[in-house]
Amino acid sequence: MKRLLIVSLFFIFASIDIFAQSKPDSNAVFNYYVACATGDVKNARNFLIQYPDCVDIELSLDNFFGDNDKQKSSEFAYQRFANYLISKGIAYGFKDKESEEEFIKKYKRYPILMASQYGHSDVVKLLISYHSNLELKDEHENTALIRASQNGHLDIIKELVNNGANIEDHQGEILSMAAYNGHKEVVEYFLKKGVNVDSKDLIGRTALMYASITNQLDIVKQLVKNGADVNAVGDSNVTSLMFASQQGNKTIAEFLIKNKANVNAKGYKGLSSLIIAASNGHSEIVSLLLKNKADVNAKSDEGVTALITASANGYLNIVKELLKNKADVNIKTNDGYTAMHDAIAEGKTEVVKLLMEYEADLLGDFMVIYTDIATALIKQHSDIACMILKDDRYRRMFFNSSIVPTFTVDGVEMTLLIYASREGFVDFTRLLIENNVNINEQNSNGHTALMFAAANNNVEIVRLLLYAGADANIKDNNGLKAMHYAAGKAQETGDTRVFNLLYTHTNTND
């Protein structure tokens, strides 16, 4: 009797110990997920036979290692989990280590999502037979049905739906993901299942918008045929035509316009499809929109027009097309800038030339013109600065003024002549000299154009200035002459040409 009692107690405690193993260790979890992600039904089944209650065990950094793996350090756990995600092509392309760590720490998946995402229908059926929860969500709120829709696995979609997967609450996501990735049969399936063709995903976009972004013409036609609203607005009031215009998808844009898309609708910050196409350099879309009566002078909330943004970006062909269609060349933004101002500021020489041919005006007083010229020089576009000063409208205003403004570059006070001499802008320097600027003007430190040209070994500028009568004997606030700066440069470079030029023009006894 006593022996029987001992044996009974042994089996009781043995049973308790067996049941205590209900949570798998990290190796078992790892192998289970590999099986689900690769379609290894045999190993997935073996895991579930041993751990039937773990069918939905979460794949995340926190849960990747079981309680029986305490001998492993947290650093080891992180690295092994990271290696798994990287090997599956899940974690890649991060800009820095911090971004990678943030992704890995937030990452969360479930077996049913993995099998559905990678298209393993036999594994999905196995998991369903173990009563997997079909509504589990990853860190992006995606369910197994959404993942299957995203990847076009129609057989899995049907399996999930037939086993109760929720379509109603995820209409926007499943239809949009299928449309975005070009899965026409999946789109057709959901439409036949009664999914609302204009349903929106979590950020407020429809399937038609996504198909317009990724240039899925057949799906766009399919959706419109099923009643999709071509003028529906998504997040930030953006329409499908705006998305097509942004991406340069001409055939999509043509189809949407043919089906009465509003070419003059305004979305985010008041941007129209024309402004969006122009800012992204899509000349064919611009022509298409203008042909269909898009407002060439439509303004955004900030007063930007298609011409202004195309000019700033240097899209010459688009600027030509807009001007041909009577774009207002002198229209201003809310801040008072025109297409000409922006083209100058961005150094778009050919655009500036074209705008001037269309009589673009800088629309400002002397200081506005001066600022534009200085901006062009600072951005190393002396050709634009010359172009402005050769225009009679600005030349007369500029050279008839008694004002000699200055600007600061790298903490140094500059005039136009001083800066041009320092940078070696020969043509611009010559233009200033020809129009009788004060060749010996000094900044607050007493520096002249000749001193800057000498300090930078600009031989041709030095010759120009000396020939025009620049005084080589002027001293700066430290008592130095241009020759002294030339001497320092000659010692540094071994090139004595500027020093020799100045030596013959300098009173060395002073």
- Helix (H) or strand (E) holding 436, with range, is none
pLDDT at 108: 80
Q: Do 59 and 109 touch, CB atoms closer than 8 A?
A: yes
Using CA atoms, how far apart are residues 484 and 476, in angstroms rounded to an integer?
11
- Burial degree of 426 (CB within 10 A; 0-12, 13-18, 19+): middle
Give the count of beta carbons closer than 10 Å to the beta carbon of residue 92: 10
Q: What is the pLDDT of residue 447?
A: 94
CA–CA gap between residue 486 and residue 491 (Å, rounded): 9
Burial of 53 (0-12, 13-18, 19+ CB in 10 A): exposed
Q: Is there a contact between 127 and 112 (Cβ–Cβ < 8 Å)?
A: yes
3-state DSSP assignment of residue 59? strand
> Tens-digit pLDDT profile for the chain (510 aa)?
444 434 444 344 444 344 434 678 877 888 898 899 999 999 999 999 999 999 999 877 776 554 444 434 466 667 777 777 777 666 667 778 788 777 777 778 899 999 999 999 999 999 999 999 999 998 889 999 999 999 999 999 999 999 999 999 999 999 999 999 999 999 999 999 999 999 999 999 999 999 999 999 999 999 999 999 999 998 889 999 999 999 999 999 999 999 999 999 999 999 999 999 999 999 999 999 999 999 999 999 999 999 999 999 999 999 999 999 999 999 999 988 899 989 998 999 999 999 988 988 776 677 888 888 898 999 999 999 898 888 887 887 777 777 788 889 889 899 999 999 999 999 999 999 998 889 999 999 999 999 999 999 999 999 999 999 999 899 999 999 988 998 988 888 898 998 988 888 888 776
Structure confidence at residue 74 (pLDDT): 62
Question: How far apart are the C-alpha atoms of 280 and 248, rounded to whole Å?
Answer: 8
pLDDT of residue 64: 59
Q: How far is CA 86 from CA 30, 92, 113, in A?
A: 14, 6, 18
* Structure tokens, 296: 């060439």
Q: What is the pTM of this model?
A: 0.82
Nearest in space to 370 (alpha carbons), one of 416, 429, 411, 338: 416
Distance CA 365, CA 372 (A): 11
Is the Cβ–Cβ distance between 436 and 417 less than 8 Å?
no
Token pair recorded at residue 496: 């004595």
CA–CA separation, 150 and 204 (whole Å): 17
Q: Which of 69, 74, 35, 75 is nearest to 55 (CA)?
A: 35
- Please tell me the predicted confidence (pLDDT) of residue 389: 85
Longest dimension (CA), the chain: 129
- With vertex at residue 431, the alpha carbon angle to CA 426 and CA 432, rounded to the nearest 5 degrees, is 100
| Per-residue confidence (pLDDT) for residue 235, from 0 to 100 | 84
- Do residues 39 and 118 touch, judged by C-beta distance below 8 A? yes
Q: What is the pLDDT of residue 63?
A: 66
Confidence at residue 5, expressed as pLDDT on a 0 to 100 scale: 39
Handedness of CA 49, 52, 56, 59 (dihedral sign): negative
Q: Which two tokens stand for residue 305?
A: 């027009």
Amino acid present at 252: I
CA distance 220 to 187: 11
Q: Which of 158, 117, 128, 164 is nearest to 56 (CA)?
A: 128
How far apart, in whole angstroms, are the C-alpha atoms of residue 477 and residue 443? 10
Nearest to residue 173, comparing CAs of 147, 138, 201?
Answer: 201
| pLDDT in the model for residue 25 | 80
268 secondary structure, DSSP code: G
For 338-347, b where at least 16 C-beta lie within 10 A, e where not — what string?
Answer: bbbbbbbbbb
CA atoms of 408 and 406, how far apart (whole Å): 7
Please give the full DSSP string across 166-226, using - where no structure is assigned: --GGGHHHHHHHHHHTT-HHHHHHHHHTT--TT-B-TTS-BHHHHHHHTT-HHHHHHHHHT
What is the pLDDT at residue 6?
A: 42
- What distance in Å separates the CA atoms of residue 92 and residue 86, rounded to the nearest whole number? 6
What's the confidence (pLDDT) of residue 440?
94
